[in-house]
Structure 1
Amino acid sequence: MNNLIDVIIPVYRGLQDVIDCLDSVKSSFNQSQYELIVIDDCSPDPAVSALLQERFNQGEFTLLVNQENLGFVATVNRGMQLHPERDVLLLNSDTLVVNDWLDRIANAAYTAPNIATVTPFSNNATICSYPKFCQDNNLPSNTSLKSLDALCAATNAGDAVDVPTGVGFCMYIRRAILDKIGYFDVETFGKGYGEENDFCQRAIQAGWVNRFALDVFVQHTGNVSFGDEHNELKHTALAKLLEHHPHYEYEVQQHIAQDPAHQARIKIWLASLIQGELPIVVHVTHNRGGGTLRFINELSEDIRTQCFPLMLMPSIKKPGQLVLTQLTPSEDGLSSEESDYSLYVAEAETLLAILKYIPVAGFHFHHMLDIPHWVMSVPKQLTLPWLVSLHDYYYICDSISLTNEAGEFSQAERLNIDESWTQSFSSLLQEAKACIAPSDSCKAFYQQAFPSANLVTIYHEQGRYLKHDQFKVSGIEPKRNQPLHVVVIGALGKIKGADLLEESALLCAQKNLDIQFNLIGYAYRDLVTTPKSTLTMSGRYYDHELLDRLASLKQAGKVDVIWFTSRCPETYSYTLSSAIDAGLPIIAPNIGAFPERLFGRCNSWVIPWDADAEFVVKQFFDLATYGDSSPALSNFTSKTVPSNACNAYQYSTDYWSLLEPKAGISQTTDIDKTQLTEWLAFALPHTSDAPSVNQATRKRLLTILYYLRGLPVLRQLVKRIPLSFQRRVRNFFTR
């Protein structure tokens, strides 16, 4: 190995990135001797060129200046040719390095005689990315760059794997391979992209290997240095690359499938749990996504500087077990995925042993559906505080919606409380630091069932959808030979009003009323649609696209009012937030969170929750006749004032005071290698997601039951089976 290494940083633009990169190189500490060579590729930003000249004058580095813009490939070739006897390390100007990064990369380059290139871990480095493989990432919130790099060094010391290509953001190249196969191919790849892949493939063909150093982490913001046209360049470069190396894509896909760095990433994650810089809060919840998952995700963002979230939920991959996993919403946001970063537990002893290793500050219970009741005692055994969020009415009634076996709500005035059910959750709620209701209505129901619990109202989404002066509401003009367009949103079951919607649409068709209903979503059964009724169905939607769909309908004149058809109390309703955000008139039932959330909002009405189709159609007919000045609807504006308590807390500032974690939870960047080794030996066996034979059989049988349940010939039979029995069957197969 040569004593001197050329660290080459080509610069085009991105002033702050350049400053940060140069500062990080300067402040890192390495035994390896190197010369820093910065090349100004005729930057279009005079401030960048001035900065480089100033710092060159201060003796910080060797500066080369291109008189015209050559692009990345020719620029780094110029740098690599400067000292033809030295190894080189190419470093993008939008990277950050820490600790003894260069020492470890250089060491990896000489663990075998035929190593051509070395690339480290990064947050944005395709096959070398962490935490998510082959994705662009932010740094994990519980580890700074310095501590994350140190964890890589401690957990994967000296480890490296072969890769089909290095990644050019930070790539060490030995001089011997440059002498053998030459420099980057500027003639083919022009100003950039694909040149390092071609170089690495040529190295492989010459009998050399490219290595991925698993014990180094370099941060990469990505695609700043050489402009915004990178996507077009990448597509063009890939076509050229495949002309020269037709098997390149196959080799990359084969590498992705084998993923030899998988275990190294798991070890880094495990290490970050016990050596992270933030205390951990364990969120206990079901695995069914929906509004509960959305809230956990939003809460975690609000408090990301205060604590690090882990989820404890029933495992989907290993039915019958719990999984302690990193918060990972699915791509559509509707469910939670069990990421690679998961620990599987089947009994209390294992979970307790895991949690004793990591700095848990407290627990936050969101749901106990499908979760063994022994989990409720875990915080007590660890002498840790806990909060409870009330997303539905599961702790009061196993139907979660306060409905009976027939799916009907009949407890508007006074709850008929089944103490044999509520007693199971009495300690959980009454000994929690706080039980958080997302509406006063929800809080009131729970006060009946758990009068000793410390119940507080904190609206989701920072309560911003109570501020009606911030959302302009459109009006409704009387309809003259035009239809009234009523939009209904959601996945409608019986208790969500699917039957009422169908009956109303049928009645309009029978009476020749031009009131058109559009369901954005789907129902629990096939509903009668046009031409037999005035109902059309738009199909499923994703939360992130709902506002755009409503805006499109509004612009096209295809929505006059949003109708919430629920026949039971909602605790909050994110869908209502979307309707408010869209600035549309709203009709909702006078139960649950709707009245208080619509108080003071113009063109918003709350009608009797148990109204039949005749009554509902009468209101829409009056709305079509008189517009938003309908005399009948004027009697149905909300009189329910939200309590002042909803403004008392903000998660972003008050979460820690609500949880009241015990003192003495400390985080340190000093790594206890003995403890780390012990922890990895204990935890790694619990990261396997391979199901047992029994678990796989149960999962297959449950899939078959769901398939049979959906067959038209069995649909009517299934409707006659009590919901409680269906739940027991499902729970048996997911135990």
Structure 2
Amino acid sequence: MNLIKDDYIVDIIVPVYNAYEDLIECINSINIAKTNFNYRIIIINDNSTDNRIENFLQNLKINNYIILNNEVNLGFVKSVNKGMKYSSNDVILLNSDTIVTDYWIDKLVEKGYSNPYIATVTPYTNNGTICSIPKFLNDNNIPDGYTANEYANLIERISIRKFIEIPTAVGFCMFIKREVLEKVGYFNEDDFGKGYGEENEFCMRAKYKGYIHTICDYCFIQHKGSMSFKEDKLKYIKKNLNKLNELYPEYDLTIKEFIENTDLKNIAEYISFHSDLKVNKKYNILYLIHNDVYDDIKHPIGGTEYHVKDIIENSDKTKYNFFILFAEKNIIYLRIINDKINKIFKFFISEQLKINTFYNFEFFDILKNIITHFDINLLHIQHLRDLPITTISSIKGFFKYLPIIVTVHDYFPIDPTVNLLDIKNEFCNAKIDKKKCSKCLEQRLGLRFEILDSWRNTFKSELSLANLIITPSYSAKNYLINILGIPDENIVVIEHGINLNSDLILERNSINLIKNKLNIAFIGGLAPYKGSGIVFQILDYFKNNNNIQFYVFGNLGDKKLEYFNSKNLYKFGRYKREEIIRLLKNFNIDLVIIPSICPETYSYTLSEAWAAKIPTICFNIGATGERAKCNKIGWVIDRPFNSNSIINIIESVIENKEILDEEKIKFNRCSFVKDVKVMVKEYDELYMNYINDSYTPNEKIDVIVQSNKYFYDKFFANIYLNNTDSNLIDIYKKEIDLMKNTFGWKLLEYIRKRHPRLGGFLKNMIKIYIKHS
């Protein structure tokens, strides 16, 4: 750019033959396009038969317009040459069926002078053979939802600024240096007079003079011309191509090899993905979480994942792009979702992320690039398990004004074991007892007691940097205030919602119902911390009672329950979340027991029972007890939390079913459950409040280009990873993991570590066996 003088002028050469409407659009786009350069527009009217052309050109009384009229029709090549010979400056040849965009001149000139050997520069377009996007070599429309300028902004924003040499410029728009015209000459009028192939022949001549041709991968202009031609024109094109190959026998092979090997194919695919993503036209929300919300990648999907999925699925995906980031060992996953895309990417780091990882440079480098590349407008942390604990402070260090919201779904910021239960599954209420805490941390997570103070202090410090903290219940909020000392005003309570679709709630299938019995259900996964021991005692106590039928909906995480059977027990097993309300109705459930002995921060099972208008029994602990007491629904049991209290309630209901009827009547007053659409509206208003407040995505070109290059490389690495071979790798990995859990493998590992020589001997024996088997 230092070669460009202050008095630099570039001439835009526009040959015109009829096509009045196209010309109007083209000239208007030139007039309104922003630029920092001085330019002239030289229009050559090639004896157009449409009188409107002449009238229009006569009315162009702007100083930088020069109108040249041909007395007879000279054809495209002679008209272009006439304009280039009139000029003494660098030129941009421009078809009259194009629409230019902001700073298009600046970008072409800048690219042209980035290398002294560059002869021509061609921008990207929707219809320009090797310069076509979003589909390479195709006649494309500009993707839906974009104007030409908006699409050009996107192309510039995601450009990797890669220098790509092309074998020839494309004639719809090409920048040519004046020095090249002086050394190489003008277009070949004798062999290509009527047009087509003239720019290719010119570029081959320039190449023989030691020049090169390139594409400006951050410039886009629209080209309305079609790559489909009538039969007579196809014959003419074929003739010119034959002539081109006579002059330059290597031309066809050069083009063929370029198309087969060029990076432009990959870049076009990269652009196509971003065209659907529309990062410059949507709000971009990044969620950090401990697991995927669509697939059981790490473990079965739970309440936190369902909550995030509810927001995504019920939000306006034409307004938002959602990015979900989570980690498993040394793999960082990024799922991207909008109305057209649901795609997952993998990023690999050298060090495995663990529950007690406080900082990881590689992770933050990935996160920083994601935030920059995708113009993330808001970061919403849903869970930090298996992610660095210092995420908030680290991100604030890079992006000071990026809004960060944290939702606390469990007690992870207070207790790494999450549920505030000691090793005996007794409620500890977050009190620190060195003996109990040491045993609990060591046996459950392999952590030392000393981590607890730094854990809580770090989370207190991190949460203080968040713009807002959300809890789904007041009981969860109070724990953050009382244990971590988070100010009350920094925390808001937003209850979770569920799908209250009437079809799900009211539909009944014809099934074999057991009549004249009290139908009692346990719903959700049952594990020790969820009260599986209490469930076992209840089932065992009533196993011979013919007045009760028990149903268990959900997974069993307790061997005692798994092996327990009785005539009045039906184990439904795992269910789809969207069908549980209907199932409760179909099985005529009268009462739902929620036996959780740890303080829930919410309780989806409570909401689902209430949505089905079924009374509940629960303990007065956490959000479950808080919500039941507040709404005065069902039975809330104070300490001690054991099976006896629940058994007494069940027996009283058997004796007097009117008690149950009284509880059911309460649902006629109100649903007591928030609809997911109401919740999503609350989040939409919240997000817009913070997004529109102060944050502007990074606008430093060098930082943006670096992040673009980073994701471009990962984009194609992930295309490879997502093919069949990748699936086979996952299968083999799972098979190896299963093998490592066998007794034989563990025995060999023990011998290898304790008795290396014997281990070596066994290793050689195995090799001999495999060789001869």
| TM-score of the superposed pair, with normalisation by structure 2 | 0.50
Are residues 1:457 and 2:492 paired? yes
Matches within 5 A, 1:370-381: 370-381=386-397
Residue in 1 that maps onto 2:288: 284
Residue in 1 that maps onto 2:709: 681
> Which residue identity does 1:387 align to in structure 2?
I
Are residues 1:310 and 2:318 paired? no
Residues 1:456 and 1:150: Cα distance change in structure 2 (over 3 Å): closer
TM-fit CA distance, 1:402:
1.0
Contact 1:485 1:558 (8 Å CA) reproduced: yes
Higher Cα radius of gyration: 2
Contact 2:127 2:139 (8 Å CA) reproduced: no
Residue in 2 that maps onto 1:484: 518
Residues 1:348 and 1:302: Cα distance change in structure 2 (over 3 Å): same
The CA deviation string for residues 407-462 of structure 1, in whole angstroms up to 9 with x for no partner, is 332329x6769434312312111232222111001111121211134442322346
Residue in 2 that maps onto 1:577: 607
TM-fit CA distance, 1:155:
6.0
Contact 1:30 1:100 (8 Å CA) reproduced: yes
Contact 1:563 1:588 (8 Å CA) reproduced: yes
CA distance in 2, matches of 1:449, 1:455: 15
Residue in 2 that maps onto 1:651: 683
Contact 2:283 2:376 (8 Å CA) reproduced: yes
Matches within 5 A, 1:306-705: 308-314=321-327, 316=328, 319-327=329-337, 339-340=344-345, 346-352=362-368, 355-356=371-372, 359-382=375-398, 383-384=400-401, 385-411=403-429, 418-453=452-487, 454-461=489-496, 482-510=516-544, 513-525=547-559, 527=561, 531-532=565-566, 534-543=568-577, 545-547=578-580, 550-555=581-586, 557-599=587-629, 601=631, 604-608=634-638, 610-629=640-659, 650-657=682-689, 659=690, 663=694, 665=696, 679-687=707-715, 688-689=717-718
Residue in 1 that maps onto 2:119: none
Give the secondary structure class of the aligned counterpart of 1:527: helix
TM-fit CA distance, 1:590:
1.8
Higher mean displacement: 603-612 or 493-502: 603-612
CA distance in 1, matches of 2:138, 2:730: 46
Residues 1:298 and 1:121: Cα distance change in structure 2 (over 3 Å): farther
CA distance in 2, matches of 1:633, 1:710: 52
CA distance in 1, matches of 2:25, 2:454: 64
CA distance in 2, matches of 1:419, 1:699: 41
TM-fit CA distance, 1:697:
11
TM-fit CA distance, 1:582:
2.1
Contact 1:278 1:307 (8 Å CA) reproduced: yes
CA distance in 2, matches of 1:149, 1:526: 64
Contact 1:279 1:666 (8 Å CA) reproduced: no
TM-fit CA distance, 1:395:
0.6
Give the secondary structure class of the aligned counterpart of 1:373: coil
Residue in 1 that maps onto 2:86: none
The CA deviation string for residues 666-710 of structure 1, in whole angstroms up to 9 with x for no partner, is 699xxx99987655333322343478xxxx999978875567769
Residues 1:576 and 1:664: Cα distance change in structure 2 (over 3 Å): closer
Give the secondary structure class of the aligned counterpart of 2:543: helix
CA distance in 1, matches of 2:165, 2:323: 30
> Which residue identity does 1:371 align to in structure 2?
L
Residues 1:352 and 1:561: Cα distance change in structure 2 (over 3 Å): same
CA distance in 1, matches of 2:646, 2:465: 44
Contact 1:303 1:655 (8 Å CA) reproduced: no
Matches within 5 A, 1:125-136: none
CA distance in 1, matches of 2:99, 2:309: 33
Contact 2:553 2:575 (8 Å CA) reproduced: no
> Which residue identity does 1:613 align to in structure 2?
S
Contact 2:125 2:131 (8 Å CA) reproduced: no
Contact 1:389 1:437 (8 Å CA) reproduced: yes
**CA root-mean-square deviation:** 6.0
Residues 1:275 and 1:614: Cα distance change in structure 2 (over 3 Å): closer
TM-fit CA distance, 1:370:
0.7
Contact 1:490 1:521 (8 Å CA) reproduced: yes
Give the secondary structure class of the aligned counterpart of 2:520: strand
Higher mean displacement: 617-626 or 416-425: 416-425
Give the secondary structure class of the aligned counterpart of 1:482: coil
Give the secondary structure class of the aligned counterpart of 1:485: strand
CA distance in 2, matches of 1:667, 1:144: 23
TM-fit CA distance, 1:275:
5.7
CA distance in 2, matches of 1:631, 1:591: 25
Give the secondary structure class of the aligned counterpart of 2:657: helix
CA distance in 1, matches of 2:22, 2:426: 69
Give the secondary structure class of the aligned counterpart of 2:539: helix
Residues 1:458 and 1:375: Cα distance change in structure 2 (over 3 Å): same
TM-fit CA distance, 1:286:
1.1
The CA deviation string for residues 174-197 of structure 1, in whole angstroms up to 9 with x for no partner, is 5559999xxxxxxxxxxxxxxxxx
> Which residue identity does 2:344 align to in structure 1?
S
The CA deviation string for residues 94-114 of structure 1, in whole angstroms up to 9 with x for no partner, is xxxx9799x956544999xxx
TM-fit CA distance, 1:529:
6.3
Contact 1:565 1:589 (8 Å CA) reproduced: yes
Residues 1:322 and 1:551: Cα distance change in structure 2 (over 3 Å): closer
Contact 1:393 1:401 (8 Å CA) reproduced: yes
Contact 2:332 2:347 (8 Å CA) reproduced: no
Give the secondary structure class of the aligned counterpart of 2:427: coil
Residue in 2 that maps onto 1:294: 306
Give the secondary structure class of the aligned counterpart of 1:313: strand
CA distance in 2, matches of 1:707, 1:489: 34
Count of residues in Structure 1 that have an aligned counterpart in Structure 2 = 493
> Which residue identity does 1:296 align to in structure 2?
V
Residues 1:450 and 1:702: Cα distance change in structure 2 (over 3 Å): farther
The CA deviation string for residues 577-630 of structure 1, in whole angstroms up to 9 with x for no partner, is 222222222222221112333346575222247533333222122223312516
Residues 1:177 and 1:523: Cα distance change in structure 2 (over 3 Å): farther
TM-fit CA distance, 1:559:
1.4
Residues 1:530 and 1:513: Cα distance change in structure 2 (over 3 Å): farther
Give the secondary structure class of the aligned counterpart of 1:339: strand
Residues 1:145 and 1:398: Cα distance change in structure 2 (over 3 Å): farther
> Which residue identity does 1:438 align to in structure 2?
P
TM-fit CA distance, 1:276:
1.4
The CA deviation string for residues 136-180 of structure 1, in whole angstroms up to 9 with x for no partner, is xxx89xx88974587479869999xxxxxxxxxxx9865559999
Residues 1:28 and 1:541: Cα distance change in structure 2 (over 3 Å): farther
Give the secondary structure class of the aligned counterpart of 1:611: coil
| TM-score of the superposed pair, with normalisation by structure 1 | 0.52
